[in-house]
Structure 1
Amino acid sequence: MLSEIENIFARLGFYSLLLGLVVGIGILIPTIGISPIWMISAFVIGFVFLISSYGIFRLQISSTESREDILWCILLSPIVLYIPLNLILMYVGLVQQPRLQDFGAYYNGAVRFLNGAPLYQTTQEIPSIQAEISGDMPYLYPPIFILLFVPFTVLPATAAGLVWDILVLVFLVWSVSKLVSTFTVNITDSSRVLLYLSVISFAPTITWIKAGQVSGLLTGLLCLSGAALRTKRDGQSGMLTTLGSAIKPFYATSGAHLLRSRKRLFSSLWTGLFVLLFGLLIFGLESHVEYLNILIGGKGWESTTLEPNKWNAGHFNPFFLLGSLKHLPRIILVFITIGLALHSNESKIPIEYIFALGVAIVPIAGPTTNTLALSTAIPAIVMVGFYEMENDGDFPKLLIVSALLIHIHPYTIEFVSKFGPRIYPEIERITPIIPLLQPALYGMALLIGYIISQSWENASGVSLVGWIRRGF
């Protein structure tokens, strides 16, 4: 079976490279008018098929241990190759260059703070201050966190954004390494490198890098919270969880594990109180009232719902088809999480599952409709995957499938809604079903479903999947 797949992939790779060569010759003839994207696409597809064919060949001739390593490489290669793919698509103009627009809003807010201007106005509303980027975007977080961006104002906005991205990316990888280090598992250096490359190349990571967003910082804080939880440092775990939720309130579901421990819960409450009082001391009441008004207004979340043919790589709208009922599954999911967290005090549900579930539902239960929050899948997958690897000796492949589905989401949506119809107009016919073609919808459902299933099995000793099968 594997031998047949190897031969098929080898042939497809050869034919794709041959097609790319023919198209390349056609590009040299101006009268034909062939776009270079076809040649690049053919070569990329050809190399992917050939690499896959070689990987399957190595898989057949290798020992059992080596086969496992090769299988992991094959599974994770789409994630690792995402950065080169991005560079190619940006080069040919199919994907926008990084604009650092969100970091620009933070940077401009810091400049306004230093100049004594209103924090929650846009810079373009203040004639005395000029903005390099994002002058029309407001700052939307609590006043105290603007201090985080003040040091970056010594640099020009774009350079500061690049430094921000690098620092946050290093912090995220370090945080993942700290979480992994809490598990007693044998993991080779090459596997560690592959894991960290996968984190860096993960599509939601690339999304926040392009925007200069804080999502990577919040994901890192959640990883550190998980590491503190694993090492019984409950106070630190509660504090780190709250810092993320203080910046983005809809991350509050990540605190499901707080319901399992009074120490974590009280640490969380004290951290929130300290952030509020420290902010009031520095910024006063007026700025906090302005921020409260922004929260009441919903920060613009879901204020305008774009039709699917207007979506791009940054859109993730899991409940679009439910219309006005879209909040119902969110509420149900939150109550399921709370119920499991409270029930876990009297059951055998490992705290790792409760932590992972609270973190995993952030992008589903929250009101945002973008891919930024999908970064929380990283601590959820790492926590559950390595916990089961520590206890059962194997990392669940279903979690990798979940990660791959989340990973391919941005450009799948971008293709079917934007540049796909430009290349082949017939693709527009599938516009009505684009909400059903969201890979991250199924990736997150698989991740959350797996965590709930494992929690149920640990609590009752009954496999949820087997129970459902018997019911039917």
Structure 2
Amino acid sequence: MSLLERLWARRRERPGLVLVAALLLGALLTYPFVDWWLRANFEFASNFRFGDFGAYNTAIERWHEGESLYRRTEDGGFWGTYLYPPVVLLLFWPFTELLAFRPAAMAWVLSTGLFLWLGLQALVAALGVDLRWFERLGLAWLVAGFQPVILTAKLGQTALFMGGLLSFAAAAMIDDGRRSANRADNSLRSSPVALASGAATAVVGIVKFAYAPVGAHLLHDRQRMAGALLALVPVLWLSIRFFDVSSYRTYVEVLRWGVEQGDGGARSPTLWLPPYFKPFAWLPGAQALRALVCLGIAGLSVLAPSRARRSVFALGVAAVPLFTPQTYAYYFVALLPVALVLLAVELERDGYPELVLVSLLLVHLHSYGLKFVVHNVPAAVPAFETLQPAYLLFQPGLWGNALLFGLAARSVVRSTDLSTVLLTGFDGTGSRANESDG
């Protein structure tokens, strides 16, 4: 029985789930055509200019010429320039060396898009679903129809690559949990799949330090943590081999500048651009809030029982777009594996799978939904402009992301019995026999 047949079979049992799923599928299936129509008729709809990939390409040129990878702008910042650790430049180098700029950018987007598609298939398989060939092709179209994916492709960003890594990391984590039930030995040597999950997660954090919360599930299991640490060895060697110390000194300045930008308030949504997403920068003490949330995630990850591994993973990843100091709408690509994991968790416990799909729909509608609210609605109803101080609350992605984060947090908290933890110790580094999230 195909996935669509399984969904239709539940129409009487869960009509809301079927309705929301139909709306989401319709939105994703039609969006490539919607985006084409928008680009053909409106200036605000961005084209495939690969602006961010241009920054990577410029950094490689400066590297070849012996100049600093990082270029300060006139205001002392680093807007519009290369912002990754020096070693990450090696990801883009093969593309720029072999091809001219636009073909190189297209090859990067297609390669990372394929990587994401394969990663999501691996995750679906790990969750116990066998996809037919036409469902695999359908998944490719659905992924291509997710608005943050198209936005990422237009910029030539790294979000597709990061989403693929996170999908493979989640698939390996779930697969290891299944194998561990039949494994009496908890030694590192007995769990290469756990090591692979940790290594993939570590690469995500290396490419962008802003993704650090994705490491929540590493705190939950010593083998995955070991895999993350082992991944640092080749990265360290490449860093020393190809880049000098001055590059990393400058990168520290880039990080400091980025954190400062995240505490500088949020510009008005009326100054909208497609990547616009300002979840909490407008709140007083936004940095303190982020720090407290990250500490809470770390604490929950350590205290949660092993059966909550999937929810812990979802909690960490869902926190990235929501609590990163400087975030953009293309970060939402990372929520695709989160949605798959939480959908499985909510279906198994007969919880709220409808909310998972609603959140994904809100994230999909974020960019142009926000534009509609702050530009089109006031033009049609002038009185609506009185709500301008509250426009930031009308960000669809804010509520979609917060909903996923809340579902993950609720799942982890419900599965964590503090009295049991205090009596028996931290289960996250002990027995890993129970596969189901509590």
TM superposition shift of 1:108: 1.4
Matched to 2:290, the amino acid is: R
Query: Which residue in the other structure is 1:385 paired with?
Result: 343
Query: Which residue in the other structure is 1:292 paired with?
Result: 252
Query: Which residue in the other structure is 1:222 paired with?
Result: 166
Query: Which residue in the other structure is 1:314 paired with?
Result: 275
Matched to 1:108, the amino acid is: T
1:331 is aligned to 2:331: no
Matched to 2:41, the amino acid is: V
1:445 is aligned to 2:399: no
1:84 is aligned to 2:41: no
1:139 is aligned to 2:82: yes
8 Å contact 2:59–2:82 — kept in the other structure?
yes
Query: Which residue in the other structure is 1:100 paired with?
Result: 50
In the superposition, relative to structure 1, how do residues 354 and 238 fare at CA in structure 2: closer, same or farther (>3 Å)? same
Aligned positions of 1:41-52 closer than 5 A = none
Matched to 1:412, the amino acid is: G
Query: Which residue in the other structure is 1:120 paired with?
Result: 70
Query: Which residue in the other structure is 1:111 paired with?
Result: 61
**Gaps in structure 2 of 5+ consecutive residues:** 177-192, 419-438
Rg comparison, structure with higher value: 1
Matched to 1:138, the amino acid is: T
TM superposition shift of 1:191: 4.9
Matched to 1:91, the amino acid is: A
1:283 is aligned to 2:283: no
DSSP 3-state at the match of 1:297: helix
In the superposition, relative to structure 1, how do residues 341 and 310 fare at CA in structure 2: closer, same or farther (>3 Å)? same
In the superposition, relative to structure 1, how do residues 321 and 110 fare at CA in structure 2: closer, same or farther (>3 Å)? closer
Query: Which residue in the other structure is 1:197 paired with?
Result: 141
Aligned positions of 1:12-411 closer than 5 A = 64=9, 71=19, 72-93=21-42, 94-121=44-71, 137-153=80-96, 154-185=98-129, 191-232=135-176, 233-298=193-258, 301-302=261-262, 305-322=266-283, 324-344=284-304, 347=305, 349-389=307-347, 391=348, 396-411=353-368
Measured against aligned partners, the alpha-carbon deviations of 1:39-98 in whole angstroms (never above 9, x if no partner) come to: xxxxxxxxxxxxxxxxxxxx9xx9746888974333321122222111111101241222
In the superposition, relative to structure 1, how do residues 66 and 309 fare at CA in structure 2: closer, same or farther (>3 Å)? closer
8 Å contact 1:169–1:216 — kept in the other structure?
yes
69-78 or 332-341, larger mean C-alpha shift: 69-78
TM superposition shift of 1:336: 2.2
Matched to 1:318, the amino acid is: P
Matched to 2:38, the amino acid is: L
DSSP 3-state at the match of 1:139: coil
Work out the CA distance in 1 between the residues paired with 2:148 and 2:164: 13
After superposition, the CA RMSD in angstroms is 3.0
DSSP 3-state at the match of 1:289: helix
In the superposition, relative to structure 1, how do residues 348 and 155 fare at CA in structure 2: closer, same or farther (>3 Å)? closer
Matched to 1:139, the amino acid is: Y
In the superposition, relative to structure 1, how do residues 419 and 79 fare at CA in structure 2: closer, same or farther (>3 Å)? same
Matched to 1:143, the amino acid is: P
8 Å contact 1:98–1:211 — kept in the other structure?
yes
8 Å contact 2:281–2:325 — kept in the other structure?
no
In the superposition, relative to structure 1, how do residues 422 and 454 fare at CA in structure 2: closer, same or farther (>3 Å)? same
8 Å contact 1:109–1:120 — kept in the other structure?
yes
8 Å contact 2:266–2:278 — kept in the other structure?
no
DSSP 3-state at the match of 1:149: helix
8 Å contact 1:312–1:418 — kept in the other structure?
no
Query: Which residue in the other structure is 1:54 paired with?
Result: none
In the superposition, relative to structure 1, how do residues 308 and 396 fare at CA in structure 2: closer, same or farther (>3 Å)? same
Identify the structure with bigger relative contact order (alpha carbons < 8 Å, sequence gap 6+).
2
Matched to 1:98, the amino acid is: F
In the superposition, relative to structure 1, how do residues 405 and 429 fare at CA in structure 2: closer, same or farther (>3 Å)? same
8 Å contact 2:8–2:18 — kept in the other structure?
no
8 Å contact 1:348–1:458 — kept in the other structure?
no
DSSP 3-state at the match of 2:270: helix
Matched to 1:141, the amino acid is: Y
1:457 is aligned to 2:407: no
Work out the CA distance in 1 between the residues paired with 2:132 and 2:241: 49
8 Å contact 1:100–1:210 — kept in the other structure?
yes
Work out the CA distance in 1 between the residues paired with 2:106 and 2:261: 27
Aligned positions of 1:422-441 closer than 5 A = 428-441=385-398
In the superposition, relative to structure 1, how do residues 368 and 381 fare at CA in structure 2: closer, same or farther (>3 Å)? same
TM superposition shift of 1:114: 2.7
DSSP 3-state at the match of 2:316: helix
Matched to 1:150, the amino acid is: W
Identity of aligned residues (%): 30
**Gaps in structure 1 of 5+ consecutive residues:** 1-58, 125-134, 462-472
DSSP 3-state at the match of 1:81: helix
Query: Which residue in the other structure is 2:424 paired with?
Result: none
Work out the CA distance in 2 between the residues paired with 1:90 and 1:82: 12
Work out the CA distance in 1 between the residues paired with 2:146 and 2:413: 29
Matched to 2:110, the amino acid is: I
Equivalenced residue count is 387
TM superposition shift of 1:458: 2.5
Work out the CA distance in 2 between the residues paired with 1:79 and 1:453: 28
TM superposition shift of 1:407: 1.0
8 Å contact 1:313–1:413 — kept in the other structure?
no
